[in-house]
Amino acid sequence: MKFKFTFVLLVLIGQFFSLTAREVTSFNEGWLFKRGPFSEDPVKVVAQWEGKWETVNLPHTWNAKDMQVKAASFYEGVGYYKKKQFFNEELKGKRVFLRFEGVGANTEVYVNSKLVGTHKGGYSAFAFEIGTALKFGAENEIMVKADNTARPDVIPVNHSLFGVYGGIYRPVWLIITEQNNITVTDCASPGVYITQKNVSKRSADITVKVKLDNGSLTPANLVLENTLYTQEGKRVASHRLPLELTPQGTQTYFSTFKLNKPHLWQGRKDPYLYKVVSRLVAEGRVIDEVIQPLGVRKFEVVAGKGFYLNDEKYPMYGVTRHQDWWGLGSALTNKEHDFDLAQIMDVGATTVRFAHYQQSDYLYSRCDSLGLVIWAEIPFVNRVTGYEAENAQSQLRELIRQSFNHPSIYVWGLHNEVYQPHEYTAGLTQALHNLAKTEDPDRYTVAVNGFGHAEHAVNQNTDIQGMNRYFGWYEKKLQDIEPWVKGLEEKYPWQKLMLTEYGADANLEHQTEYLGDALNWGKPFYPETFQTKTHEYQWSVISKHPYIIASYLWNMFDFAVPMWSRGGVPARNLKGLMTFDRKIKKDSYYWYKANWSKEPVLYLTQRRNADRERKQTSVTVYSNIGTPIVYLNGKELTGIRKGYTDVHYVFDNVTLEQGKNVIRTVATHNGKEYTDEIEWNYTGEKKRNADSRENKNEHAGW
């Protein structure tokens, strides 16, 4: 069927869109797919299985099921996609590109059996110009070879901490431009880079850098116009630059602006976005246009004191997020991204660490408009091989250029728990830091260590030092978090420290009242109640120590770990505040919502721990709307005490009746009554063999 082009450029920066000469069209429907293994040449593969291909739409992954249900049992290898498309004769003289938002993990793209490009890495976008390989006025065949086999030269070098899902799991776009354009192939970036200096309530200096590309053989007389608009669409300022664009390489041009009394981007309180429209004009006609967001803001990290947004201290209530979903893998639509962000907003988070790889550009754009302060990173994790240095730098360059204009991003993550050999890892981290500062001097860098001492051999090579600490889970006891923080603060007061992972697993089928101060994670029993206890105590310590500039609990959602089998659920990390299918919020979710959110919370814990083991027990309520009243079987309980924070209320020495017990809590806030109710059942004393021995394992980053 003849291909119909639309003339609407949808730019994923929240609500902005514009009519433009650039044509951007979804290229996601009607693909054919064939999974390997294969041994043949890619071109021969396409012809060999005629009539035996599966029809799929993108996004798509072949690991949506097998990577989530059984440990170390999933297809790791090659899959092929092909699509036939008619291209009009009218496209002669135009430039044609394919832009892939993400393919797992290593890619070859062919057009009419001609190789047009390759890409290494499963999380960054890439774009290839394909016009010279096309037959206009005829049907063309596009073929993509995807391979998620772990390789020593491509990060991540294994599937140990998370699985790299195979396939074209993010959207693909067909882009049509004139011969002269705002470059499409500068690491698949927008081709526009916005920097800001001297930001205050009084003024801000804005620079717009635009990279232009002439695909013809002759110079062209053009005008580059950069215009700033308010969020409401009012024109603020414009700069027109006449130029002669030569065919020799990409050319770079600048426009500078001074914004007086700018409307600042203030995080969740007021995530105000300007927009920058870059237009390329030839003979009075707009031939290309790119729209990018501008959130005017200043980030500052002060050792020992905290995080500052526009010179005001800003609370960093942090969660982490892996992108995969139960039954979908990584092949998500915007609907799934929006759902995850809604939960993150609901729990009251102000900052997100998107771990451990570059995530959807749509997701970053939504964070711009929601006011979440975010951390973006590359998948340099877990192990080194000595062969990944070039690819790590390439993926960092792609991340920075593709994400440069997102005002929500404050830091680039360079590595997570990478150690031996120390000399190689430290040297590569230094090189990545230098690259980040060359590409983007104005943002911070961070590297993350799973050990708790600042003098570790791979530390102090980035602006911020992250540490993952799982006291009571992988090592020592819950209470050891406080002396650890105090010790670092006394010895290294200059260090910009962030607690970048902490928490414990929680299998909702595992419940007990008998809890010690440490759990041996190697055992198969992962009670939700221990996760709750961990977060209750450790957040109370974190909240009192400004030396911890930001903290990021691990994790917002359970996720797949295809090499694991722990805690009674194969191929699963159970540390999420919500289950993998996003259907159940664990008790810890409400702990943070009560502490962080401004929304009213009244919540009774241990609702799934309904088969009670003790007649004499305790009742816990989270309430951020004042002191709650609690009833047991209709009788009001007495003896309430405050727990670890102001929202934490505990009733000790509560005596249950034989059989069913109904616990109900009530609180009144602003004239409205709030209630919560759960049921417990007591049939006699019983004790589970919960292991509370101290575990001295030092590997803290799972």
Nearest to 690 by CA among 365, 452, 472: 472
Sign of the Cα torsion 334, 339, 340, 344 reads positive
- Does residue 417 carry a catalytic annotation? yes
CB 653 within 8 A of CB 618: yes
The Cα–Cα gap between 473 and 588 comes to 16
CB 519 within 8 A of CB 691: yes
**In the chain, what is the greatest distance between 2 CA atoms, to the nearest angstrom?**
90
DSSP per-residue codes, 217-282? SS-EEEEEEEEEE-TTS-EEEEEEEEEEE-SSS-EEEEEEEEEES---B-GGG-B--EEEEEEEEE
Structure tokens at 470: 């799982």
b or e along 279-293 (b: 16 or more beta carbons within 10 Å of the residue's beta carbon)? bbbbeeebbbbbbbb
Nearest to 552 by CA among 379, 320, 367: 320
DSSP per-residue codes, 111-139? ETTEEEEEEE-SSS-EEEE-GGG--TTEE
Three-state DSSP at 540 gives helix
Non-local CB neighbours of 621 within 8 Å, separated by 6+ positions: 602, 603, 604, 605, 628, 630, 649, 650, 651, 665, 676
Cβ-based burial of 237 (10 A; exposed 0-12, middle 13-18, buried ≥19)? middle
The Cα–Cα gap between 179 and 182 comes to 10
Structure tokens at 282: 């030839």
**Strand partners of residue 300:** 308
CB 499 within 8 A of CB 544: no
The Cα–Cα gap between 103 and 111 comes to 17
Q: How many alpha carbons fall within 13 Å on the CB side of residue 631?
A: 11
Non-local CB neighbours of 570 within 8 Å, separated by 6+ positions: 69, 70, 71, 564
The Cα–Cα gap between 505 and 555 comes to 9
The Cα–Cα gap between 576 and 265 comes to 30
The Cα–Cα gap between 211 and 280 comes to 11
The catalytically annotated residue of 108, 178, 398, 417 is 417
Structure tokens at 329: 């893998």
Q: What are the residue ranges of helices labelled H in 283-421?
A: 334-347, 361-370, 389-403
CB 404 within 8 A of CB 193: yes
Q: Are strands 464-468 and 497-501 parallel, antiparallel or unpaired?
A: parallel
Q: Which residues are catalytic?
A: 417
